[in-house]
Amino acid sequence: MASTQSAPKSLRIAVIGAGMAGILAATRLLEAGKHKFVVYEKADRVGGTWRENTYPGLTCDVPAHAYTYSFAPNPEWSSYLSPGAEIQRYFESVAEKYALDKFMKFGQEVTRCEWKNGRWELETAKGLKDTADVVIAATGVLHHPSTPDIPGLDTFAGACFHSAQWDHSVALDGKRVGIIGSGSTGVQIVSALAGRASKVIHIQRTPQWIMPTPNDPYTEEQKAAFRANPALIDEIRYSEAYTSAVRRFTEAIVDPDSPQMREIEAIVQKNLEDSVKDPVLREKLRPNYRAACKRLIYSSDYYQKVQRPDVEVAIGGIKQIEPNGVRMADGSLQEVDVLVLATGFHADRFVRPMRLIGRDGTDIDAQWSPTPSAYLGISVPGFPNFFMINGPTGPVGNFSLIDIAERQWGYIEHLLAALESGEARSVELKEETLRAYDERRIAAARKTIFGSGCNSWYLDATGVPASWPWSYDAFAEQTAKPRDEDYVCAA
Ligand code: NAP
């Protein structure tokens, strides 16, 4: 950053959220010898999305060794794709290893954060007040469950809950379970409950393309080898097979007419044709939009499970929910004892419902009306010394969000260094930087596969895909280091 020298400064930093990104920030601060920070977490333990989601079948569809901090490899992953409970334990173990507890304020939801007199003033739901030079918002992307507005939902006689609020007190064995929603979550739940419930009914408004993926367990010998030689873990994490797949995938997203996209389409189409024998079921499961328009689903067993006699696929709209089940638009009643709403999340709520007030009283709600945006998913004009990890318009897709978060953290570290060196008391993104970024971003986003004519959580309120619309490499390049011309530094 541009230099106007004054005394070095030890910053007080408030991190909001103790999920994957908050733990990342905390560990990186400690590793850099910075101890003047606090992590506010509304729940009673770390974990974020992996703490909240506990549904049967929960699995990360990114290879386990890639969905791992680069600085905390884990030789113990049980399989190529790790189950959710194991991921939660992993985050807890990293927090333990770095003794993060003493920096954590659990049960403290930050409800207000305001830039006043050159500092951030924070307040929690319990009335705790604090001030900080810098705020790092690590508040997650898919955090607020979306409950569908289906008539009669409250008349259902059995247990009914959202996938992210799983009620483990409800017995499922031998029950008829209806699952509404065919995203990654619904597909994983259906696969897990098939054979356990007496009947599984997968209610799909829109079918999804399914990418076949292996999910082999790691043997004890393999784990021992990983323990003895962490380079073997890196060989998986940075393998040509994985990194080139991510690169090809992001190139395909950016250019729907590319050979890379044709390759994805060919794989998922073949998967459907080869895997589903019954032509009627096959047509029920065939999407009428392009592969990867919605976030691609990776599954090793969904098509197998859905062909079981005790699994049924119900397509078309839902007319209403009745005490005994789900009345479909065609008049048929899907009778169920338990109803699971795998209906996704409010993907545009970044940071909120916290009241976030920036310089000159700018409210983030106004700034983000009609849709949220942040430069590289990190910075917003009007909000000095406020940086996000996995904020709006960052890359979200079929790759490791941990890697994205680590890149953003590397970028944020440069901004912190400018503040610590005394070069600046505050750094703030320029309005014209975000304006130019958004112009380019929106034009590019419309051309991505996400904008090719389907409905998904990628789309913002104006119908524009909100995810990073350029290549993975472009993100890596642009987050390598902040450019002086993008920020205003106030001494
Ligand atoms: P989602 O992808 O947003 O899917 C929501 C589903 O609910 C869609 O099938 C949607 O149908 C359906 N739905 C919503 N409202 C409905 C209504 N009123 N009537 C009927 N159907 C309705 O949500 P998700 O499956 O929870 O996944 C969200 C994201 O979480 C994923 O894309 C992924 O990024 C992440 N995730 C990741 C993993 C992983 O393995 N890494 C696992 C789970 C989730 P329409 O398609 O017709 O709108």
CA of 102 to the centre of ligand 1 (A): 36
Label residue 6 by pLDDT band (50, 70, 90): low
Here the tokens at position 407 are: 């890149």
CA of 159 to the centre of ligand 1 (A): 20
Give the other-Cβ count within 10 Å of 307's Cβ.
17
Stretch 107-111: mean pLDDT, rounded? 98
pTM: 0.96
* Per-residue pLDDT tens digits for 128-157: 999 999 999 999 999 999 999 999 999 999
Indicate whether 450 pLDDT > 70. Answer: yes
- Looking from the CA of residue 149, the nearest atom of ligand 1 is 18
Helix (H) or strand (E) holding 85: helix 84-97
- Cα 320 from Cα 326, distance rounded (Å): 6
CB-based contacts of 240: which residues, under 8 Å, 6+ apart?
A: none
Residue 491 has a pLDDT of 82
* Per-residue pLDDT tens digits for 366-401: 999 999 999 999 999 999 999 999 999 999 877 899
Indicate whether 472 pLDDT > 60. Answer: yes
**Three-point CA angle 46, 49, 54, nearest 5°:** 100
Residues in the chain: 491
Q: Phi, psi at residue 282, to the nearest 5°?
A: -60, -40
Q: Which of 61, 160, 205, 345 to mutate to test the pocket of ligand 1 (most atoms within 8 A of CB)?
A: 205
Residue 77 has a pLDDT of 98
* Per-residue pLDDT tens digits for 429-444: 999 999 999 999 999 9
* Per-residue pLDDT tens digits for 246-290: 888 989 999 999 999 999 999 999 999 999 999 999 999 999 999
Q: Angle formed by the axes of helices 401-420 and 20-31, to 10°? A: 40
Residue 433 has a pLDDT of 98
Average pLDDT score, the chain: 95
- Looking from the CA of residue 344, the nearest atom of ligand 1 is 23
Q: Which residue is closest in CA terms to ligand 1's atom 39?
A: 60
Indicate whether 174 pLDDT > 60. Answer: yes
The DSSP output letter for 363 is B
- Looking from the CA of residue 187, the nearest atom of ligand 1 is 25
Q: Does ligand 1 lie within 6 Å of residue 181's CB atom?
A: yes
CA of 79 to the centre of ligand 1 (A): 24
Contact between 300 and 63 (Cβ < 8 Å): no
Label residue 1 by pLDDT band (50, 70, 90): low
Residue 3 has a pLDDT of 47
Residue 419 has a pLDDT of 95
CA of 172 to the centre of ligand 1 (A): 21
Residue 246 has a pLDDT of 87
Stretch 181-200: mean pLDDT, rounded? 97
- Looking from the CA of residue 397, the nearest atom of ligand 1 is 34
CB-based contacts of 37: which residues, under 8 Å, 6+ apart?
A: 12, 13, 14, 15, 25, 26, 29, 103
Q: Does ligand 1 lie within 6 Å of residue 429's CB atom?
A: no
Q: Phi, psi at residue 320, to the nearest 5°?
A: -165, 165
Residue 257 has a pLDDT of 96
Structural domains in the chain? 12-144+346-490 (3.50.50.60), 153-341 (3.50.50.60)
Q: Does ligand 1 lie within 6 Å of residue 180's CB atom?
A: yes
- Looking from the CA of residue 396, the nearest atom of ligand 1 is 34
Label residue 113 by pLDDT band (50, 70, 90): very high
Q: Does ligand 1 lie within 6 Å of residue 318's CB atom?
A: yes
| Percentage with pLDDT > 70 across the chain | 99
Q: Which of 165, 182, 467 to mutate to test the pocket of ligand 1 (most atoms within 8 A of CB)?
A: 182
